[in-house]
Structure 1
Amino acid sequence: MATFVLVHGAWSGGWCYAKVAALLRARGHTVFTPTLTGQGERAHLLSASVNLTTHVADVANVFHYEGLGDVVLAGHSYGGMVVTGVADRIAARVSALVYLDAFLPENGQSLFDINIPANTQRFVASAGNCGGIAVPAPPASFFNVNAADAARVDMLATPFPLAAMAERLTLTGAHETVRKRVYVHGRVLPRESPFKPFYDRVRDDPGWTAHALACGHHVMLDMPETTADILHAAA
């Protein structure tokens, strides 16, 4: 059986993978769902110094302290920035990279660089409501979260460190040696999706497997069985 490390996106926590993790564990897989510093049950650690480097270290340390190798590493949304940075550092320990409607950065890019400019402007402006160090969570409706999960997403969402969105990622290119790469796009949003260009970029690339799902941005909540099947197939 395989080992999975599932990395959440902004304003979230490891809790968002509960359904998918349960489905994977029922198949006999080992699943880790770390929560990034300043998020979820670690929200009390939020500070101006928490950035993308912090979050890459959070996940790389799971590999180190749990002695992990041959891992399917998946990231949702902002988590795409994190898993790319982790895979670039420890590519030999990663057997597959899965981007769940996630940012797909290149060397020297930040999330702000590759997001829709209107989103970046909105997030920077709203950080003033959190002392200038964090971005308040948009409502679940912004991501078209399904009705059954929307209230829980709104209840558990936490402000996200601004520095993590602004920091540019330095890559050596080692992440591109990971043999399996998968992109999953949630194609039903009430607005322009910043993730469709990444899906369009890789969907015809023979080095990638691409899926477009009839759901909102939170694919692991909206279509957990399908998400689990895709992750299982990547193992």
Structure 2
Amino acid sequence: MTEATDPATTSIVLVHGAWHGAWCWSRVLPLLRSAGLDSHAVTLTGVGERAHLMSPGIDLHTHIQDVIGLIEAEELRRVVLVGHSYAGMVITGVADRLQRERGGLLAHLVYLDAALAYPGDSWSSHHSAETRQARTDASIPSGGLSFPPPDAALFGLNGADRDWVNRRQTPQPFRLYQQPLDFDADRVAALPRTFIDCIQPALATIAPSRARVRSEPGWNVVEMATGHDPMVSEPVALSQILRNIHAGA
């Protein structure tokens, strides 16, 4: 076994979705680390504990660089890259760039109930006209800078979990909502890819991704009977799925 394929050298990098931060992985990280897996969670610029950095200049490339910056700063050698929800856009951009510049670094892409893009798509491309308009309207009070989070009940959370997420969510930079992502689809598709489909309840905006992974070759699909935030609602089950993917990377 070479160092490049040694599980001991393979790390997991977790990238949160919109309105969240690295905080959302706080129930998953200890489980991964207690299993001996080198695991990291990044907070994207402008949200979470980095909300004070909100600015009009934040775009997809900012968030792509946030993830690459963590990988480089931690000197990771081989990575299972996990992107939740909006971060499906981010990890696709990361994969395109790292495959071009540092082929062999990425071991597996995990799209956790995530947005999937074709080249030239934006995060908003596969949303309904009503959703796009609602989010645009919601950005108006901030002058187009950001748009506020929804109630976490939308993610299938209730009780203390719902309250915990609602307290911690922060507005999402708006510019990247409509920004197209250009990438080489073949380059990204050359990597092993898993889609974790959270189906109970299923979030409507993920429906296009849900259909796509079942119609295209090359996807491993895993279903979870929980809502859109499984790192909160089902951390043990999610960590086991990630451990299994890591073991095969």
Q: Output the TM-score relative to the length of structure 2.
A: 0.89
Residue-by-residue CA offset, 1:68-99 (whole Å, 9 max, x unaligned): 12200000000100001001111321100001
The one-letter code matched in structure 2 to 1:15 is: W
The aligned residue for residue 56 of structure 1 is 64
The one-letter code matched in structure 2 to 1:131 is: G
Q: Which runs of 5+ in 1 are unaligned?
A: none
Tell me if structure 1 keeps the 8 A contact 2:45–2:58.
Answer: yes
Matched, 1:69 2:77: yes
Separation in 2, partners of 1:215, 1:130: 33
Moved more, 219-228 or 156-165: 219-228
The aligned residue for residue 107 of structure 1 is 119
The one-letter code matched in structure 2 to 1:207 is: G
Tell me if structure 2 keeps the 8 A contact 1:5–1:73.
Answer: yes
Tell me if structure 2 keeps the 8 A contact 1:146–1:216.
Answer: no
Tell me how far 1:206 sits from its aligned partner.
Answer: 5.0
Separation in 1, partners of 2:145, 2:215: 39
The aligned residue for residue 220 of structure 1 is 231
Q: Output the TM-score relative to the length of structure 1.
A: 0.94
Residue-by-residue CA offset, 1:110-139 (whole Å, 9 max, x unaligned): 001122332221111111122321011111
The partner residue of 1:18 within 23, 26, 37 is 26
| Dislocated runs of 4+, deviation >4 Å | none
The aligned residue for residue 199 of structure 2 is 187
Tell me how far 1:205 sits from its aligned partner.
Answer: 4.8
Give the superposed CA RMSD: 1.5
Percent identity between the aligned chains?
A: 38
Tell me if structure 1 keeps the 8 A contact 2:21–2:42.
Answer: yes
Tell me how far 1:231 sits from its aligned partner.
Answer: 1.0
The one-letter code matched in structure 2 to 1:224 is: P
Separation in 1, partners of 2:133, 2:174: 12
Q: Which runs of 5+ in 2 are unaligned?
A: 1-7
Moved more, 108-117 or 6-15: 108-117
Moved more, 200-209 or 67-76: 200-209
Q: Look at both structures and tell me which one has the larger radius of gyration over its CA atoms.
A: 2
Q: How many residues align?
A: 233
